[in-house]
């Protein structure tokens, strides 16, 4: 694995710079929230970098398969060298582990997931074109949250019997099709990925909110995060519901509280 890291020094440097920039954005989020144009420009640029560099160029799209493999290795023959074979994935997972403790799962889902970034950029363009958005009623939306956890539990149960079978069913993630293989695949897989991207035109990050087992897997350990960086006022929810109405992934409850399990850390509520 050492020679692999040496061969990919340039990739590692570019990724490290990007993660350092993201860390600065998160640390100085209060300052940036007072400068919405700058924050929006930074976020859009970062999402494009995530899709192009992390996704299509470095092929470092994380997957629920990585989680299942790690858990399986803990109970069998765990070796760090197995995970060090891919430096980009190893560095990303290391950063995600730290960010889960500090900020929650929203940092990865909102900033570092190539497929999630692709959906968000498509939806952002649709909104600029004044395409009407379709939002599910809160009662339906709140119940659909559970779907991705059921998908995760199903994949975990299958992985206990066979990791190879679990990898097949993990195709519920369109990541391999849209990111790793750049849509160069059998038509069924391409059709599934394209449908999800088309849905994102009228509903922001539909797949991330309701289906993604990786997001569900990250939300579980993120419950032990050490800090709550997102500021709220006493008036949030009662009577003010501006942020709840404006949150484009509906992660803010009607009472004004932010559901950290569903928040994608876009910082729009902080700007508001």
Length of the chain equals: 272
Tell me the pLDDT tens digit for each residue of 81-96.
Answer: 778 889 999 999 999 9
Whole-angstrom Cα distance, residue 180 to residue 194? Answer: 15
The predicted pLDDT at position 176 comes to: 94
Structure tokens at 83: 């995970």
Is it the case that residue 147 has pLDDT exceeding 90? yes
Report pTM. 0.93
SS3 24: helix
Alpha-carbon Rg of the chain, whole angstroms?
Answer: 19
pLDDT of 229 higher than 90:
no
Taking residues 110-124, report their average pLDDT: 96
Least Cα distance to 122 among 43, 204, 180 occurs for 204
Residue 205 reports pLDDT greater than 80: yes
Q: How confident is the model at residue 26 (pLDDT cuts 50, 70, 90)?
A: very high
pLDDT of residue 50: 97
Residue recorded with tokens 């995530």: 50
The overall average pLDDT reported for the chain is: 92
> Quick one: pLDDT band at residue 228, thresholds 50, 70, 90?
confident
Q: CA 8, CA 12: separation in Å to the nearest integer?
A: 6
């Amino acid at each position: 694995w050492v020679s692999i890291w040496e061969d990919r020094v340039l990739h590692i440097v570019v990724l490290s710079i990007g993660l350092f920039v993201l860390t600065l954005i998160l640390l100085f989020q209060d300052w940036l929230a007072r400068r919405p144009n700058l924050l929006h420009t930074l976020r859009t640029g970062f999402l494009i970098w995530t899709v192009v560099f992390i996704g299509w160029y470095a092929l470092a799209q994380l997957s629920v398969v990585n989680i299942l493999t790690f858990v399986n290795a803990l109970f069998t023959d765990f070796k760090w060298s197995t995970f060090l074979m891919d430096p980009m994935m190893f560095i990303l997972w290391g950063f995600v582990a730290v960010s889960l403790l500090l900020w929650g799962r929203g940092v990865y889902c909102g900033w570092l997931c190539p497929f999630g970034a692709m959906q968000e950029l498509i939806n952002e363009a649709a909104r600029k074109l004044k395409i009407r958005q379709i939002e599910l009623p809160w009662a339906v939306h709140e119940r659909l949250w559970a779907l991705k956890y059921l998908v995760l539990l199903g994949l975990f149960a299958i992985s206990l019997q066979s990791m190879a079978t679990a990898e097949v069913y993990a195709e519920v993630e369109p990541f391999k099709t849209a990111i790793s293989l750049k849509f160069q695949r059998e038509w069924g897989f391409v059709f599934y990925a394209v449908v999800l991207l088309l849905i994102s035109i009228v509903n922001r990050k539909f797949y991330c909110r309701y289906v993604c087992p990786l997001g569900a897997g990250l939300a579980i350990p993120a419950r032990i995060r050490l800090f709550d960086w997102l500021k709220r006022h006493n008036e949030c929810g009662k009577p003010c519901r501006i942020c709840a109405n404006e949150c484009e992934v509906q992660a803010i409850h009607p009472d004004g509280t932010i559901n950290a399990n569903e928040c994608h850390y876009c910082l729009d509520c902080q700007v508001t």
